[in-house]
Chains A and B, each alone.
Chain A
Amino acid sequence: MEMLIKIAHNYYYMVAILLFIIGMHTMLTHSNMIKKVIAMNIMDTSVFLMFVAIGYTYGGQAPIITAPANEVLYVNPLPGSLMLTGIVVAVSITAYALSLVVKIYRYYGTVDYDEICLIRSQE
């Protein structure tokens, strides 16, 4: 019963871990290369969700200084800004991976990784 209450309080983290597992499992087991790239994005997005959820303070408002007041409770802006950099990193890996997929398709004629391994083992 306590465990359920704890899970209900922290459901952001549970969803993030669940998405992480889904992303990692799909990335490693499904053979379509574009699915692997999408799953990599899901995995990275889940970690960003976890980080941003860590930064939330109960009862805080958005960390933009409109009036210079010291008694306002703000949400922690640090994880959010760190994850901006993380999103850019994930976008660049996605761009590079997709351009590799385009080139591999031109050479092998298929986007299915198991078929490519079969072709490579016969050369």
Chain B
Amino acid sequence: MGLTNHFPALILAILLSISFLSPILYRWARKLSAPALIFSLFLALVMAVYLMVQVYQVGEFTYYMGGWPPPWGIELKINLLRVYMLLVVLAISLWIMVYALKDLEHELKTEVMGWYYTLYALVVASMAGMTLTNDLFNLFVLMEICAISACAIISIKEDRACLEASFKYLILSAMGTGCFLLGVAMLYMVTGHMNYDLVNEYLPAAIEQYPNNMFAAAALFIVAFGTKAALFPLHVWLPDAHASAPSPSSAMLSGLVIKIYAFALFLMFYQIFPRSLLESIPLNEIVLWLASMGIMFGSVFAMVQVDLKKMLAYSSIGQIGYVFLGIGLDDTIAMTGGFYHLLVHAIMKSLLFMCAGVIIYSTGIRQIKQLGGIGQVLPITMIAFTIGSASMIGIPGTGGLISKWYLALGALEIGRPIFVVIILASSLLNAVYYMPIIVNAFMQQETFDGEVKPVPRQMLIPLLVGTAAIIFFGVFSRPAIALLENAMQLFF
């Protein structure tokens, strides 16, 4: 009974401990290292489910690190939206890790695999911390841990392409971090606090005397989180980084890491900045139009790609635009759609990257035009790819439709039908580049020639789980939507 009060800190403690233990386990007890990681991720997921149950019973609660209340200590806040993000992060990272245990053996050298577990656990720990934290400097530290670990899980497979891509990601990410820290300095200068709620309380009085600080802070936050979450003009690092990484890393990066920064930007705009700021400067408009351009350009660039993983990476740029569209439209229904898209896209994109990983594992092919007739030799993989693509396009019965539906409803509710046109046009463009792969795979007359390695069952079962999850979230979407609508009440 006493231990369950400490679950927020224990989730972080367990994930950090397994990341520090992995090098020792890998050197001296190699057989234990992978099961220990899976067990820790599972334990963290169980604790997160318990936190969700507790939030439903008690409401929003906080946890003070070290027993010190703010402003002296770091506060972890647990409310409905944060626990939703935490569950998404932990569940999907556990799912990807089960797939990754088999796939990494042929992509990485054996002696560095122990370090991959460390870095993976650090990415998951930092993302879990970013969802829970209520303190600006704690967010900075966790953002940095996430940035270094995310770059490192790309460059751990050392070949020509991924080293250069990882360096580009690191430099642009460091630029984002510098801008974020300067924005925090701007806010700290006028309010003297780092806690989200205390800054929110003291900011209106500070705006009277020093209005320019907050404009500068808002601009710096948009640049910082836009760089890290691949908002339209700042997305240039994403295609190389996600395409050249090992497949589990691509799945984790495209599925989770870019989303957590969109969530952090949402918290900046709606929990830290006062409502009057959003009405006086058109911050939402900026994010809205950048997101729309990202949606269109992501799809347009994806259409001309010849490499499978690079096409999926450009598609990620378009899809993260939907989440920013939800934030930019400034309406409860649209934001519900945006956050639901966060969940569904994490599953879809990870599933697609895992299918690409299976294709590369068994045939070694990365070019799209050589994938003709592959549906006969890899049926389960291509069925999973088909369901994932159908969800990307937004076919009814899959999860992708629900999020686009809610986004369109939100756009209509605030009276701007042009965004419905953008959503529909981008669905059409998605179909243009996903359908040829499926049609080529299944209905090509020629048979697939080339050697096919048999795919181990441990890699196919996550694909089936993902397919089932997409269909589940497409048909039984009501519980999650109700949760998100409840969560949005806090912010409006």
- Given A85-B141, A93-B148, A107-B160: A20 and B167 interface contact (C-beta under 8 Å): no
Q: By the criterion CB–CB under 8 Å, are A97 and B181 in contact?
A: no
Check B152 for interface membership: any CB of A closer than 8 A.
Answer: yes
In the bound complex, how far is the Cα of B194 from the Cα of A86, in angstroms? 15
In the bound complex, how far is the Cα of B176 from the Cα of A28, in angstroms? 12
- Given A96-B152, A97-B170: A86 and B163 interface contact (C-beta under 8 Å): no
In the bound complex, how far is the Cα of B151 from the Cα of A33, in angstroms? 16
Closest to A120 in B: B164
Provide the residues of chain A in CB contact with B182, threshold 8 Å.
20, 47, 50
Range of interface residues on B (Cβ < 8 Å):
20 to 34
Check A100 for interface membership: any CB of B closer than 8 A.
Answer: yes
Q: Contact flags (1/0) for A85-98 with B, using CB distance below 8 Å?
A: 11001001100110
Q: By the criterion CB–CB under 8 Å, are A47 and B185 in contact?
A: yes
Q: Contact flags (1/0) for B371-398 with A, using CB distance below 8 Å?
A: 0000000000000000000000000000
**B271 vs chain A, min Cβ distance (A):** 21
Closest to A49 in B: B185
Closest to A97 in B: B170
Q: By the criterion CB–CB under 8 Å, are A93 and B167 in contact?
A: no
Provide the residues of chain B in CB contact with A36, threshold 8 Å.
171
Closest to B136 in A: A82
Q: Is the interface of A mostly helix, strand, loop or mixed?
A: helix
In the bound complex, how far is the Cα of B164 from the Cα of A93, in angstroms? 16
Q: By the criterion CB–CB under 8 Å, are B171 and A40 in contact?
A: yes
**A27 vs chain B, min Cβ distance (A):** 6
Check A24 for interface membership: any CB of B closer than 8 A.
Answer: yes
Q: By the criterion CB–CB under 8 Å, are A93 and B178 in contact?
A: no
In the bound complex, how far is the Cα of B178 from the Cα of A36, in angstroms? 14
Q: By the criterion CB–CB under 8 Å, are B163 and A97 in contact?
A: no
Across chains A and B, the number of contacting residue pairs, with CB separation under 8 Å, is 77
- Given A47-B178, A47-B185: A107 and B163 interface contact (C-beta under 8 Å): yes
Check A104 for interface membership: any CB of B closer than 8 A.
Answer: yes
Choice from B141, B148, B160 contacting A96 with Cβ under 8 Å: B148
Q: By the criterion CB–CB under 8 Å, are A82 and B170 in contact?
A: no
Provide the residues of chain B in CB contact with A28, threshold 8 Å.
175
Check B13 for interface membership: any CB of A closer than 8 A.
Answer: no
**A84 vs chain B, min Cβ distance (A):** 11
Q: By the criterion CB–CB under 8 Å, are A100 and B167 in contact?
A: yes
- Residues facing B in A29-54 (CB within 8 A) are 33, 36, 40, 43-44, 47, 50-51, 54
Closest to B145 in A: A89
Q: By the criterion CB–CB under 8 Å, are B170 and A93 in contact?
A: yes
**A2 vs chain B, min Cβ distance (A):** 15
In the bound complex, how far is the Cα of B170 from the Cα of A100, in angstroms? 10
Check B461 for interface membership: any CB of A closer than 8 A.
Answer: no
Check A108 for interface membership: any CB of B closer than 8 A.
Answer: yes
Q: By the criterion CB–CB under 8 Å, are B163 and A104 in contact?
A: yes
Q: Is the interface of B mostly helix, strand, loop or mixed?
A: helix
In the bound complex, how far is the Cα of B167 from the Cα of A40, in angstroms? 13
Q: By the criterion CB–CB under 8 Å, are A116 and B164 in contact?
A: yes
Check B189 for interface membership: any CB of A closer than 8 A.
Answer: yes
Q: By the criterion CB–CB under 8 Å, are B174 and A40 in contact?
A: yes
Check B40 for interface membership: any CB of A closer than 8 A.
Answer: no
Provide the residues of chain A in CB contact with B140, threshold 8 Å.
86
Closest to B178 in A: A43
**B42 vs chain A, min Cβ distance (A):** 29
Closest to A105 in B: B163
- Given A89-B141, A97-B170: A23 and B163 interface contact (C-beta under 8 Å): no
Check B115 for interface membership: any CB of A closer than 8 A.
Answer: no
Most A CB atoms within 10 A — which of B148, B158, B166, B182?
Answer: B182
Choice from B160, B161, B167, B181 contacting A47 with Cβ under 8 Å: B181
Q: By the criterion CB–CB under 8 Å, are A82 and B175 in contact?
A: no
Provide the residues of chain B in CB contact with A96, threshold 8 Å.
148, 151-152, 170
Provide the residues of chain B in CB contact with A50, threshold 8 Å.
182, 185
Q: By the criterion CB–CB under 8 Å, are A104 and B174 in contact?
A: no
- Given A20-B182, A40-B174: A108 and B167 interface contact (C-beta under 8 Å): no
Q: By the criterion CB–CB under 8 Å, are A100 and B178 in contact?
A: no
Q: Contact flags (1/0) for B184-195 with A, using CB distance below 8 Å?
A: 010011000000
Closest to B182 in A: A47
Check B137 for interface membership: any CB of A closer than 8 A.
Answer: yes
Closest to B147 in A: A93
In the bound complex, how far is the Cα of B181 from the Cα of A93, in angstroms? 15
- Residues facing A in B133-177 (CB within 8 A) are 137, 140-141, 144, 147-148, 151-152, 155, 158, 160-161, 163-164, 166-167, 170-171, 174-175, 177
In the bound complex, how far is the Cα of B386 from the Cα of A120, in angstroms? 32
Closest to B170 in A: A97
Provide the residues of chain B in CB contact with A86, threshold 8 Å.
140, 181
Interchain residue pairs with CB less than 8 A apart (22): A20-B182, A28-B175, A33-B167, A40-B174, A43-B175, A47-B178, A47-B185, A51-B181, A51-B185, A54-B185, A89-B141, A93-B144, A93-B170, A96-B148, A100-B166, A100-B167, A100-B170, A104-B163, A104-B167, A107-B160, A107-B163, A120-B161
- Going nearest first, the 6 A-B pairs with the smallest beta carbon separation are A43-B178, A47-B181, A89-B144, A40-B174, A100-B167, A50-B185
What 11 new A-B contacts, CB under 8 Å, besides A20-B182, A40-B174, A93-B148?
A: A27-B171, A33-B167, A40-B178, A47-B185, A50-B182, A51-B185, A54-B188, A82-B137, A85-B141, A92-B148, A103-B155
